[in-house]
Amino acid sequence: MKKNIELFYYNGCPFCMRVLSFLKSENLKIELRNIQEDPKSLERLVNDTGRRTVPCLYIDNVPMFESADIISWLSQNKNLIG
């Protein structure tokens, strides 16, 4: 069953760029939420987690932090994306 996947990020964040680069290299398409360009996404992130920390991957509305953990999860769950 496909998951609802969203990545909260901002341009210039090296850890975000690592995740975005992985997505591009694997040709994975997920919803991207730039917290610098979209105030509602920033508000949601802060309300849900109490933090502004990115990257943050939402998997069925459950947040996951840390770029290495995010890349690992995406790599192991490609069949759930899309």
Which residues, 6 or more positions from 36, have their beta carbon under 8 angstroms from its beta carbon?
Answer: 10, 11, 42
- Domain residues for the domain of 45 are 6-72
Residue 60: per-residue pLDDT: 97
pLDDT at 82 over 90: no
Task: Summarize pLDDT for 15-26 with one digit per residue, the tens.
Answer: 999 999 999 999
79, pLDDT greater than 90: yes
Count: domains in the chain: 1
Kindly list the strands in the beta sheet with 31-34, ordered across the sheet, starting from the edge strand earlier in the chain: 31-34, 5-9, 56-59, 62-65
Alpha-carbon gap, residue 23 to 39, rounded angstroms:
24
User: What is the token pair recorded at 41?
Assistant: 């996404």
pLDDT at 26: 96
Q: What is the CATH number of the domain that holds 37?
A: 3.40.30.10
Burial class (CB in 10 A: 0-12, 13-18, 19+), 19: buried
- Residue 42 in domain: yes
12 part of a folded domain: yes
Give 26-78 pLDDT, tens digit per residue.
Answer: 999 999 999 999 999 999 999 999 999 999 999 999 999 999 999 999 999 99
